[in-house]
């Protein structure tokens, strides 16, 4: 007999969310994994003792987390998605007939809270990843990515003098001249002056966005110029867990941001008893400041020097004691100045016109300038050492490892964790968004390992292999058995 389903809403019914959420559901397991109780203490300073009650801080942080877990960064979409999902309602602590907070409340609360409230949650998740064997801490890969700002190029205006202000000044001057009996500025001349201002090439030094002054112009090869923020990410190579993430202005070079990124990554891992011994990065981080920072922290870096870097110049001998070069004809190239290129200080060595004038090799050596010029890094000794390290077998392997570690993480953050664009204004709010995206990313890795306790994390696998080399120590066997039983 053919069945036919009929539906009629019940006026009264008994319904419990916990009975309809499976035990292995992601949000059900997540609810018992994270501890948000710290928010009541840390956010109490933002509220008074009178007035209407605000949104529960725990509910707010959970809604923020849901947005990045579901790749829905719009506050409206976060509320709409949460309203339709029973497992998310259970995670938030709401029943099916309870009204969720208004979307504008999320925007105001995000602006109200400081970065510390978000960082505490990030460090809590990082600690659980470390405790579950997902982080070794020994080797970190660092890279950056541009994140689109919530501003358009049409919002760019001159920092000091607006184009309209210039036209207004001309019209004011013309009015004064008319009063004196002199001819006024013609309409064609006004249009010409306006076009001249519009054709001036905008840069971050001369122009700023009216809607988001912290956003900066940047461009990738083959792409159009956009207003972006720069996100710097540190990733542990053991299982690709994010150990630090920060927002910087888009006009900053990677080498300029590295010192702060390194310090914060060291602090995050040091709190959990882990020490960094190796750093992997690409050529954009190659500078004297970066190499000196690594040496000061006793960290071995694997960072390729800029393309075309040479330890020795053919025919030119470097005299370290005098800090100069000697050419094949015996003339000296002395240090003339230090130039900075995107945070990279470079030494400029030049010969004198008098020495090169009578040289038989002048045409092939100096070109049209008539003098020979050589650029060198301020930290030449460290660059030479890095060049030799990257030419080794391990150096080539580390270069491949960096590309297969941090770049997939950045791709996941951009495409699946809501970090393609920030829908906030200002670098502080952009930093909060990036922190939440990294928390969502790390949580997915953590929950995957916790869902399969018999599968050991990479760090635990490595420890187990080391312990199995000594089969006669019972204490070592108990260590392995304890993790196998989890």
User: What are the domain boundaries of the chain?
Assistant: 17-113, 134-150+226-306+387-448, 153-218, 317-380, 457-484
Query: DSSP character for 100?
Result: P
Q: CA 7, CA 386: separation in Å to the nearest integer? A: 73
CB 133 within 8 A of CB 458: yes
Q: CA 261, CA 142: separation in Å to the nearest integer? A: 9
Q: Which two tokens stand for residue 335?
A: 């240090």
Rg (CA), the chain: 30
Tell me the pLDDT band of 478, cut-offs 50, 70 and 90.
very low
User: Quick check: helix, strand or coil at residue 122?
Assistant: helix
Q: CA 47, CA 28: separation in Å to the nearest integer? A: 30
Closest CA to 372 of 306, 324, 338, 311: 324
HEC secondary structure over 151-213: CCHHHEEECCCCHHHHHHHHHHHHHHHHHCCCCCCCHHHHHHHHHHHHCCCCCCCCEEECCCC
What pLDDT does 125 receive?
A: 96
Q: Which two tokens stand for residue 437?
A: 């995206």
Tell me the pLDDT band of 473, cut-offs 50, 70 and 90.
very low
What pLDDT does 451 receive?
A: 83
Tell me the pLDDT band of 93, cut-offs 50, 70 and 90.
very high
Q: Which two tokens stand for residue 47?
A: 């509220």
Q: CA 107, CA 424: separation in Å to the nearest integer? A: 8
Q: How many CB atoms lie within 10 A of CB 168?
A: 11
Percent of the chain with pLDDT over 90: 55
Contacts of 262 (CB under 8 A, 6+ apart): 142, 279, 293, 294, 297, 299
| Helices of type H across 70-114 | 75-84, 86-92, 103-112
Q: Say how far residue 255 (Cα) sits from the centre of its chain.
A: 13
Query: DSSP character for 417?
Result: S
What pLDDT does 467 receive?
A: 42
Percent of the chain with pLDDT over 70: 82
Per mean pLDDT, which range of 147-156, 302-311, 380-389, 451-460 is the poorest? Answer: 451-460
Closest CA to 414 of 392, 450, 440, 377: 440
Contacts of 18 (CB under 8 A, 6+ apart): 90
Query: What CATH number belongs to 134-150+226-306+387-448?
Result: 3.30.420.10
Q: CA 146, CA 430: separation in Å to the nearest integer? A: 12
Q: Which two tokens stand for residue 39?
A: 């928010």
CB 459 within 8 A of CB 133: yes
Q: CA 410, CA 444: separation in Å to the nearest integer? A: 15
Q: Please, what sign has the CA dihedral across residues 263, 265, 271, 277?
A: negative
User: Quick check: helix, strand or coil at residue 318?
Assistant: strand
Q: Which two tokens stand for residue 242?
A: 């994010």
Asked whether the predicted pLDDT for residue 268 surpasses 90, the reply is yes
Query: pTM of the predicted model, to two decimals?
Result: 0.80
Tell me the pLDDT band of 196, cut-offs 50, 70 and 90.
very low
The predicted model gives 334-350 an average pLDDT of 78
What pLDDT does 485 receive?
A: 33
Strands, DSSP E only, in 360-441?
373-377
CB 286 within 8 A of CB 304: yes
pLDDT tens per residue across span 393-430: 999 999 999 999 999 999 999 999 999 999 999 999 99
The predicted model gives 156-185 an average pLDDT of 59
Q: Which two tokens stand for residue 478?
A: 């108990």
Closest CA to 347 of 320, 316, 323: 323
Q: Say how far residue 418 (Cα) sits from the centre of its chain.
A: 13
What pLDDT does 189 receive?
A: 57
Q: Say how far residue 178 (Cα) sits from the centre of its chain.
A: 57
What pLDDT does 482 receive?
A: 33
Contacts of 123 (CB under 8 A, 6+ apart): 268, 271
Tell me the pLDDT band of 172, cut-offs 50, 70 and 90.
low
The predicted model gives 300-305 an average pLDDT of 94
Per mean pLDDT, which range of 171-185, 309-323, 377-391, 392-406 is the poorest? Answer: 171-185
CB 110 within 8 A of CB 64: yes
What pLDDT does 129 receive?
A: 95
3-state helix, strand, coil in the chain (%, to 5): 45, 15, 40
Phi-psi region of 187 (alpha: psi -120 to 50; beta: other; left: phi over 0): alpha
Tell me the pLDDT band of 260, cut-offs 50, 70 and 90.
very high
Query: DSSP character for 373?
Result: E
């Amino acid at each position: 007999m053919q069945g036919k389903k009929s539906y009629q809403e019940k006026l009264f019914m008994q319904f419990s969310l916990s009975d309809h959420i499976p035990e292995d559901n992601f949000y059900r397991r997540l609810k018992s994994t994270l501890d948000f109780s710290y928010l009541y203490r840390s956010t109490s300073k933002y509220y008074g003792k009178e007035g209407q009650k605000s949104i529960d801080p725990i509910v707010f942080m959970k809604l923020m987390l849901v947005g990045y877990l579901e790749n829905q960064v719009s506050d409206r979409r976060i509320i709409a998605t949460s309203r339709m999902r029973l497992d998310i309602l259970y995670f938030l602590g709401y029943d099916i007939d309870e009204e969720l907070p208004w979307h504008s409340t999320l925007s105001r609360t995000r602006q109200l809270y400081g970065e510390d409230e978000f960082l505490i949650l990030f460090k809590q998740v990082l600690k659980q990843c470390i405790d579950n064997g997902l982080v070794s801490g020994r080797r970190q890969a660092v890279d950056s990515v541009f994140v689109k700002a919530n501003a358009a190029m049409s919002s760019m205006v001159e920092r000091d003098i607006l184009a309209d202000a210039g036209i207004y000044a001309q019209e004011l001057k013309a009015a004064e001249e008319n009063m004196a009996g002199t001819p006024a500025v013609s309409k064609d001349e006004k249009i010409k002056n306006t076009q001249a201002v519009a054709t001036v090439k905008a840069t971050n030094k001369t122009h700023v966005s009216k809607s988001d002054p912290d956003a900066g112009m940047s461009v990738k090869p083959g792409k159009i110029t956009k207003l972006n923020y720069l996100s710097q990410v540190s990733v542990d190579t053991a299982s690709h867990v994010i150990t630090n993430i920060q927002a910087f202005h888009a006009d900053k070079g990677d080498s300029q941001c590295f010192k702060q990124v390194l310090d914060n990554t060291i602090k995050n891992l040091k709190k959990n008893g882990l020490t960094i011994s190796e750093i992997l990065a690409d050529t954009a981080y190659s500078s004297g400041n970066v190499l000196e920072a690594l040496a000061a922290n006793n960290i071995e870096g694997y960072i390729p020097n800029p393309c075309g870097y040479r330890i020795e110049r053919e025919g030119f001998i470097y005299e370290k004691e005098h800090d100069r070069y000697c050419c094949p004809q015996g003339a000296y190239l002395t240090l003339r100045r230090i130039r900075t290129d995107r945070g990279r200080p470079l030494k400029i060595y030049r010969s004198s016109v008098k020495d090169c004038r009578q040289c038989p090799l002048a045409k092939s050596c100096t070109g049209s300038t008539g003098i020979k010029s050589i650029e060198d890094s301020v930290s030449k000794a460290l660059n030479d050492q890095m060049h030799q390290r990257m030419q080794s077998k391990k150096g080539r392997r580390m270069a491949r490892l960096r590309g297969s570690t941090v770049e997939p993480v950045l791709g996941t953050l951009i495409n699946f964790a809501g970090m393609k664009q920030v829908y906030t204004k200002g670098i502080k709010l952009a930093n909060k968004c990036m922190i939440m995206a990294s928390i969502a990313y790390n949580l997915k890795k953590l929950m995957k390992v916790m869902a399969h306790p018999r599968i050991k994390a990479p760090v635990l696998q490595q420890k187990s292999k080391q312990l199995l080399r000594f089969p006669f120590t019972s204490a070592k066997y108990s260590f392995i058995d304890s993790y196998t039983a989890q």
